[in-house]
Chain A
C-alpha cells in the first residue's frame, strides 16, 4: 500500500469503518508510522467538521431536565476551585520496573489509543520530579505504587485486585486534604488482577490527602465512592 492510500484510510479508520483485515493492516502500519498518527488526528478533526455540519434540531426542554437530573441540581455558585495536595516519597528503582513493564506491554499494543496512553504514562514515569508512593505491603490484598508529577499528573498501578461483579467497574479518586468530596479520575479494568489508572492534569501537591479506589456501577453517574476498595494516604 502506498502513502496516499494510507492517508485515505485515516478517515475511515477514524470512523471505525474499515473492514477487519484492512483495519488490522492499518493498525499494524500506524503503530510505527508517525505520519499516519498525525494523519489520524487530522482525519478525526475532518470527521468532526462533517458531524458538526448536521442541521440543528433542538431537543425538548423536558429532555434537558431529565438529563441534568441525573447529575444533581445545579448549585448556582458551585464554581469550586479544586486544588490538590500531596507529599510523596521517591523510589526510582520501582519507576524503572514499571517502565520496563510498560515497554514489554507495548509489544502487544496495536491501537492508537493504547499507544497514546502508554506514551502519556511513560512521560510521567520518566519525568524528573516524579514521586512514588508504595501501598499495601500485603500480597493478598491490593498493593502497588502511585507515581505523581505535580505538573503532568498521576499514575496508579494496583495489583491484587479481584474481578468486579457484573455491572461494576473500578474507579480511581483523588481525595483533597481540606475535607472536600473525593474527585473521580477514571474507570479502569483489572485484567489478571492488575489495574492502571492515569490522570493527565496538574496536581498541586500541597493539598492532596490520598488516592482511593472504589467499585462503581457502570450505568450510573460517578458522584462519590460507592464501595471503597482502598485509600492510600499521600504525605
Chain B
C-alpha cells in the first residue's frame, strides 16, 4: 500500500533536523488551513493569530515524536491546531483540565497513520465535504459545537435546550452520514 506523499515526509524529516526553512514551508503549505480552523473556533482574529503561533511552536517542539514513515503530517498538525483552539475556549469556560489532558493524548502521532494515497485521501475528503452539505440544520449545528467549540453532548444539550437523548441522536446520525460517505468513497469500514 502506498504511503503518504513524499513531500510531507521530507518536510517532517527536515523539521526533525531543526531546519527553520522547513517551518517556513510548512507554514506556507498549511498555515492557511490551520489559521482557518482556529479562527472558525475562536471567531477572533487576534486570538487566532496567537493560537496559530502557539500551534507552530508545538509542532516544532514535538515533531520528533512524529513517525515519518507511517505518519500523516496534515492530520496531526490540523488536530494540534484545533485542540489549541478548544483548549483556549475551555479555559474561557473555566472547564477542568481533565478534558485538556484527553486532547493532548489525542495528539499522539501514532494515531495518525497513513493507509492510502494522497489521491484516495482527496477523494474521500471531497465525499465528506459533499456529505456535510447534505446534513440538516440541526445536524450541522451539533457538529459545529462538537468539532469547533469542543462541547460535550451534555453541554450541547444545555446550550441548545434540547434533551440529551435528542442531541446524542443528532450527533450519531450526522456522523453516520459522514462516515458512510467516507467509506463509500473508498475508506475502510469497521
B78 and A78 form a contact (CB under 8 A): no
Q: Which positions 21-79 of chain A face chain B at CB distance < 8 Å? A: 23, 35, 38-42, 44-60, 63-64, 66-68, 70-76, 78-79
* Known interface pairs A53-B132, A66-B53; A15-B146 also in contact (CB < 8 Å): yes
Let me know if A52 and B190 touch, CB within 8 A: no
Q: Are B188 and A42 in contact (CB under 8 A)?
A: yes
What class of interface size applies to chain A in its complex with B?
Answer: 35 or more
Residues of B within 8 A of A41 (CB): 111-113
Q: How far is the CB of B157 from chain A (nearest CB, A)?
A: 10
Task: Tell me if A222 is interfacial: C-beta within 8 Å of chain B.
Answer: yes
Q: Is A181 an interface residue (CB 8 A)?
A: yes
Expressed in whole angstroms, the Cα–Cα distance for A106 and B147 within the complex equals 31
A41 and B110 CA atoms in complex are apart in Å by 9
Interface of A is mostly: mixed
Chain B stretch 44-67: residues in CB contact (< 8 A) with chain A: 48-49, 52-53, 56-57, 60-62, 64-65, 67
Give B87's nearest chain A residue, CB to CB.
A16
Q: Check if A44 sits within 8 Å of B75, measured CB to CB.
A: yes
Tell whether, in the assembled complex, residue A20 and residue B132 are in contact, meaning their CB atoms are under 8 Å apart: no
Contact A17 B187 (CB under 8 A): no
* CB of B82 within 8 Å of the partner chain: yes
Measured between alpha carbons, how far is A37 from B40 in the docked complex, in Å? 29
Who on chain A is nearest to B183 by CB? Answer: A42
Residue of B nearest to A82 (CB): B17
Contacts of B65 in A (CB 8 A): 186, 198, 200
Per-residue CB contact flags for chain B residues 5-47 toward chain A (1 = under 8 Å, else 0) read: 0000000001011111101100110011101110110000000
Q: By DSSP majority rule, is chain B's interface helix, strand, loop, or mixed?
A: helix
- Contacting pair B190 A39 (CB below 8 A): yes
Tell whether, in the assembled complex, residue A70 and residue B57 are in contact, meaning their CB atoms are under 8 Å apart.
Answer: yes
- C-alpha spacing A46/B147, complex, angstroms: 11
With a cutoff of 8 Å between Cβ atoms, the chain B residues found around residue A105 in the complex are: none
Using Cβ atoms and an 8 Å threshold, which residues of chain A touch B125? Answer: 49, 52-53
Residues of B near A56 (CB, < 8 A) are 32-33, 36
**CB within 8 Å for A51 and B18 given contacts A59-B32, A66-B53, A67-B52:** no
Decide if B190 touches A71 in the complex (CB within 8 Å).
Answer: no
Interface centre among A50, A52, A57, A185 (most CB of B within 10 A): A50
In the complex, what distance in Å separates the CA atom of A58 from the CA atom of B32?
5
Other A-B pairs, 18, CB within 8 Å; known A54-B36, A66-B53, A111-B102: A8-B172, A17-B152, A18-B152, A20-B98, A41-B113, A44-B112, A45-B182, A50-B128, A50-B143, A50-B147, A59-B32, A64-B28, A70-B56, A72-B20, A181-B18, A183-B64, A200-B67, A221-B60
Chain A to chain B contacts (Cβ below 8 Å), 6 pairs = A45-B187, A50-B178, A52-B33, A54-B33, A70-B53, A111-B102
Give the A-binding residues of B (Cβ under 8 A).
14, 16-21, 23-24, 27-28, 31-33, 35-37, 39-40, 48-49, 52-53, 56-57, 60-62, 64-65, 67-68, 72, 74-75, 78-79, 82-83, 86, 98-100, 102-108, 110-113, 124-125, 128-129, 132, 143, 146-147, 150-154, 171-172, 175-176, 178-179, 182, 187-188, 190
The 10 closest A-B pairs by CB, nearest first: A113-B108, A74-B21, A113-B105, A116-B110, A49-B128, A82-B17, A59-B35, A48-B75, A16-B102, A16-B103
